[in-house]
Copies of this chain bind each other. A is one copy, B any other.
Amino acid sequence: MNQKGTLIVLSGFSGVGKNTVITQVLAQRPDIHYSVSFTTRAPREGEVDGVNYNFVTREDFQARIARGEFLEYAEYNGNFYGTSMKVIRDNLDRGTDVLLEIEVKGAAAVMAKMPEAVSVFLVPPSFDELSKRLHARGTDDEETIQKRLAIARQEAKEVKNYEYIVVNDTVDHAVQEFFSILTAEGCRKERRIHLVEGV
């Protein structure tokens, strides 16, 4: 029996600590394929092709659209951003688990097209804590922080569309919850019923 991989869709508020959690998850499970978005925008300083984004030309991107390769794509500020369904499916088909970090609108599109995806939303212990973390980063001015918090409050309304909510109180705890979800999903009846069929 060729068992397919699990697609995990991960979203979370800006500043909640998604990157730290993802880094830990991939360090402990390097076999997980981390899905990297495609974009037509130019790489910023320090960004690495294939790591931060797959940087492609506009022609390449449009050819992928025409071939129906994207699970979802959008244009912001004249640049395309998209998630390749082909890369994800190829990995799932060969039994590799795939982690896709994506914002709420993109996540909704992915869940609609791949309802078997496992969706996880990462939240802070509280909104006060989120505000504290955004201030502690020291990278944004007050106006930007308030804007991020306002976006988070909007996104909070979409959290009900996710199956799981992981609380990032400590990174270790969040990572442990993440892996528990992945293990539990692997124990689902649908994935294991073959063990007792036809006996």
Contact = CB atoms under 8 A, between A and B. Distances in A.
Contact of A187 (B125, B181, B187): B181
Given A159-B196, A165-B195, A195-B123, A180 B187 contact: yes
Interface string A115-143: 00000110101110000000000000000
A163 interface: yes
Nearest to A193: B160
Interface residues of A, number: 34
Contact of A163 (B159, B165, B181, B189): B189
B164 A187 contact: yes
Given A120-B187, A165-B193, 5 more contacts: A127-B199, A156-B197, A163-B188, A164-B188, A184-B184
